[in-house]
């Protein structure tokens, strides 16, 4: 068994392994690597374990600098999920040990593995993130009946307000404008528009946009990844003035219904920080939070990094960001978010 750095000649092998592995996620695909590289220019270290020419495991990594001027090796930036995928525990450990060696050799401050399971007992775990996933029935009505009564009422309320869902690649600019407003209102820097353009280009069949109209005006939107049997809404937002219309509940229900009607089996509501607004919103859909095990190798740090909006030291900056004009945040946001893993 040996571990090599990925080269483009191995793309077909890599993606074939990802699609055949029940441990790999959408973010392990080489398409995600290409999007992240083109958007932010991070340096990739994609590790591939092989035995006699056969892929036995993978570990995708990016080297980046953070807001605190630290060098971080992340699996994977911008992604909810990452970490190693392998045929067995020994191969997985081999990949992680290679990543730790790389961290030391390159004098990187820390290694972060965004695991869905607590795999490595020697590495500390950050108990902050959870994910929400639910199996989909073939019949949309059965899915609706399973949703708690209060949320069902909100979904129906959206219908009574004559909300209408539409889908299409041509809605990218309208979606981005709404998304930028939403994250500004949360006090978070927005990603550059080119990120979403690259996603649409790299995943033309599996990256889709759904928008919701009210009285002819687009008031919410979500960019969704369709991977294997999963529906993964990943970037979404709504205009604040549309909140009384129950627009978010209506939008995600329309997406869930679309998925089950087309044979998808899992609705992956994605990660949330414990105690956040999105955490509470997703809980109201009747889904149980499942812990995510983000693990760290602290090469040149004394404690795990704390770069997230719930950290009290960032509250002043978040409050200020919410007050900035949208046009300003669209210019400054992409320059800042590059340094937020």
Q: Where are the domains of the chain?
A: 2-128+292-306, 137-264
Q: What is the pTM of this model?
A: 0.94
> In the prediction, which pLDDT does 301 show?
80
> In the prediction, which pLDDT does 309 show?
65
Matching fold, domains 2-128+292-306 and 137-264: yes
Per-residue pLDDT band for 192 (boundaries 50, 70, 90) equals very high
For 178-200, what is the mean pLDDT? 97
Beta-sheet strand order (sheet of 289-291): 164-167, 207-214, 217-227, 230-238, 266-273, 129-135, 289-291
Q: What is the pLDDT of residues 106-131, one digit of tens each?
A: 999 999 999 998 778 899 999 899 99
Q: Which of 149-186 are b and which e, b meaning 16 or more Cβ less than 10 Å from the residue's Cβ?
A: eebbebbebbeebebebeeeeebbeebbbbbbbbbbbe
Find all residues with CB under 8 Å of 299, minimum gap 6, and list them: 100, 103, 104, 107, 108, 109, 110, 111
Q: With the C-alpha atoms ordered 188, 192, 195, 200, is the resulting torsion angle positive or negative? A: positive
| Fold of domain 2-128+292-306 | Aminopeptidase (3.40.630)
Lowest mean pLDDT among 167-171, 294-298, 317-321: 317-321
Per-residue pLDDT band for 302 (boundaries 50, 70, 90) equals confident
For 55-80, what is the mean pLDDT? 95
Per-residue pLDDT band for 250 (boundaries 50, 70, 90) equals very high
For 227-254, what is the mean pLDDT? 97
Percent of the chain with pLDDT over 70: 98
Q: What is the pLDDT of residues 267-286, one digit of tens each?
A: 999 999 998 889 999 999 99
- The mean pLDDT value of the chain amounts to 94
For 57-63, what is the mean pLDDT? 98
For 71-81, what is the mean pLDDT? 97
| Fold of domain 137-264 | Aminopeptidase (3.40.630)
């Amino acid at each position: 068994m040996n571990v090599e750095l990925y080269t483009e000649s191995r793309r077909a092998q890599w993606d074939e392994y990802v699609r055949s592995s029940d441990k790999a996620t959408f973010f392990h695909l080489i398409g995600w690597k290409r999007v992240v590289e083109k958007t932010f220019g991070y340096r990739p270290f994609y590790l591939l374990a092989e035995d006699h020419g056969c892929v036995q495991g993978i570990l995708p990594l990016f080297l980046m600098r953070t807001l605190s001027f630290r060098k971080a090796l992340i699996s994977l930036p911008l992604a909810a999920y990452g970490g190693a995928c392998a045929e067995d525990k020994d191969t997985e450990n081999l990949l992680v040990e290679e990543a730790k060696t790389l961290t030391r050799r390159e004098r990187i401050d820390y290694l972060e593995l965004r695991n869905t399971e607590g795999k490595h007992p020697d590495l500390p775990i950050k108990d902050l993130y959870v994910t929400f996933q639910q199996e989909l029935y073939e019949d949309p009505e059965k899915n609706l009946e399973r949703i708690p009564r209060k949320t069902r009422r909100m979904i129906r309320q959206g219908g009574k307000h004559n909300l209408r869902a539409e889908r299409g690649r041509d809605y990218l600019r309208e979606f981005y404008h709404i998304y930028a407003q939403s994250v500004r209102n949360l006090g978070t820097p927005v990603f550059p528009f080119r990120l979403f353009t690259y996603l649409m280009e790299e995943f033309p069949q599996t990256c889709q946009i759904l928008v919701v109209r009210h009285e002819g005006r687009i008031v919410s939107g979500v960019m969704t990844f369709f991977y294997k049997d999963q529906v993964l809404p990943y970037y979404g937002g709504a205009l604040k003035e549309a909140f009384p219309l129950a627009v978010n509940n209506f939008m995600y229900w329309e997406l869930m219904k679309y998925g089950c009607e087309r044979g998808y089996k899992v609705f992956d509501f994605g990660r949330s920080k414990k105690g956040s607004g999105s955490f509470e919103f997703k809980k109201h859909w009747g889904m149980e939070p499942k812990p995510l095990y983000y693990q760290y190798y602290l090469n040149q740090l004394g404690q795990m990094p704390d770069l997230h909006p719930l950290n009290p030291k960032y509250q002043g900056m978040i409050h200020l960001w919410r007050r900035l004009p949208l046009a300003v945040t669209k210019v400054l946001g992409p320059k800042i978010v590059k340094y937020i893993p």
